[in-house]
Amino acid sequence: MIKSMTGYGRFEGMVLGKLCTVETRCVNGRYLDVSAKMPKDWSDKELLVRELVREYVSRGSLSVYIRVDETVAAADVRLNADAARSYVSALRALQQDLGIGGELTLDHLVAYPGMFQPSAAVAEQADCWPELRIAISGALEALNAMRAKEGAQLALDFLARLDGIESMLEQIEARSQARIPAERERLRERVRQLMDDGIVDEQRLQLEIVLLAERLDVAEECVRLRSHLKFFRENLAEGVGIGRKLNFLLQEMNREVNTIGSKSNDAEIARMVIACKEELERIREQVQNIE
């Protein structure tokens, strides 16, 4: 099953007794590019986060957002008295130096960082990574579920367009073969008109007819195009890291269609060639979103 590169995943879980929310967002990208935003206390886990992402995603620009409910029960915190005294001393010295009046209140102090700290029991809790890994994995699984769902829709669209191209290819082959007798007679008539005595050199005419048939024959291009269509379907069924392969096959298919158009001097075939190129372009646009 192919996967789209775009998707979103969210998971909520408990990490060290706190509610942790992990969100993952992925958009198109030529390579895998991972960015992670998490609480400052967990910044040392960024490398582990990147390694975990690679287990789920191989291509795309992916962002991981980790938020934690920092609400802590009063019994789990303690006042940092030393910090409070230092702040009070510094603020009063500043008042005196600048001649600023007013009363220093508790409201002023609680705005400063470090006034409250987790209790020793909370601070010495176990490593957060085992529980954090579970939360991130949950978000990545949700992301991949969305990407797989979108990929399934893209695959159905691809197959329908490939069927349309193959149907037009059959018509092109049939019309190309049918044109050869008509072109042979047209060439014979033109040669006859150019000859003063109306006598046609059959040997030279047959040579020109052979050359004309070779120029009009698109069988070789049609065989190669069918082979590319077959490989495209097989890669869709494989569905693992196939974005670049599909893009290459589309380039080759477009090359064969262009050759068919240049060899077929026929308005109806030209119309079908243009329709095939339009379908290939629509597929190419969507393939850019395949992992």
Give me the CATH number covering residue 254.
Answer: 1.20.140
Give the rounded percent of residues in the chain with a pLDDT score beyond 70.
79
Q: How far apart are CA 95 and CA 110, in angstroms?
A: 18
Q: What is the CATH number of the domain that holds 134?
A: 3.30.230.10
In a domain, 66, yes or no: yes
> Residue type at 185?
E
> Residue 67: inside a domain, yes or no?
yes
CA-CA distance, 59 to 260, in Å (whole number)? Answer: 35
Q: Do 131 and 108 fall within a single domain? A: no
Tell whether 119 is covered by a domain. Answer: no
Tell me if 137 is assigned to some domain.
yes
Rg (CA), the chain: 35
**Domain containing residue 172:** 149-287
- Regarding whether 134 and 259 lie in a shared domain, the answer is no
- What pLDDT was estimated at residue 232? 94
Residue 121 lies in a domain: no
Which has the higher per-residue pLDDT, 123 or 83?
83
115-136 burial code (b ≥16 CB/10 A, e <16): beeeeeebeeeeebbebbeebb
Total of domains in the chain: 3
Question: Could you tell me if 52 and 153 lie in one domain?
Answer: no
Which of 35, 33, 31 is CA-nearest to residue 23? 35
The answer, as to whether pTM is greater than 0.75, is no
Judge if 182 and 137 occupy the same domain. Answer: no
What gap in Å lies between CA 175 and CA 265, rounded to an integer? Answer: 11
Please give the pLDDT value at position 126: 62
Residue 279: per-residue pLDDT: 96
Does a structural domain hold residue 251? yes
pLDDT(278) > 80: yes
Report the distance separating Cα 177 and Cα 72, nearest Å: 81
CA angle 2-7-11, nearest 5°? 120
Total count of residues recorded for the chain = 291
Task: For residues 68 and 90, state if they share a domain.
Answer: no
Which is nearest to 163 in space by CA: 76, 212, 226? 226
- Phi/psi of residue 186, nearest 5 degrees: -65, -40
- Domain co-membership, 173 together with 236: yes
**For 27-65, what is each residue's pLDDT tens digit?**
998 889 999 999 988 889 999 999 999 999 998 999 999
213 and 283 together in one domain:
yes
Full strand arrangement of the beta sheet holding 32-37: 7-15, 18-27, 60-68, 32-37
**pLDDT tens digits, residue range 132-166?**
999 999 999 999 999 999 999 999 999 999 999 99
Q: What is the mean pLDDT of residues 183-207?
A: 61
Span 1-5, mean pLDDT? Answer: 87
Alpha carbons 1 and 239: distance in angstroms, whole number: 5
- Residue 263 CA to residue 203 CA, distance in Å, equals 24
Phi then psi dihedrals of residue 9, to 5 deg: -140, 145
28 and 132 together in one domain: yes
Closest CA to 190 of 175, 212, 217: 212
**Is 120 within a domain?**
no
Same domain, 159 and 141: no
Residue 73 has pLDDT above 50, yes or no: no
Same domain as 217, residue 166 = yes
Q: pLDDT per residue over 238-269, tens digit each?
A: 877 788 889 999 999 999 999 988 887 788 88
**100 and 216 part of one domain:** no
**What confidence tens digit (pLDDT) does each residue in 90-100 have?**
888 888 888 88
Residue 177 has pLDDT above 90, yes or no: no
- In contact, 280 and 264? CB cutoff 8 Å: no
On whether both 196 and 228 belong to a single domain, the answer is yes
Higher pLDDT among residues 113 and 139, named by residue? 139
Q: 3-class SS at 11? A: strand
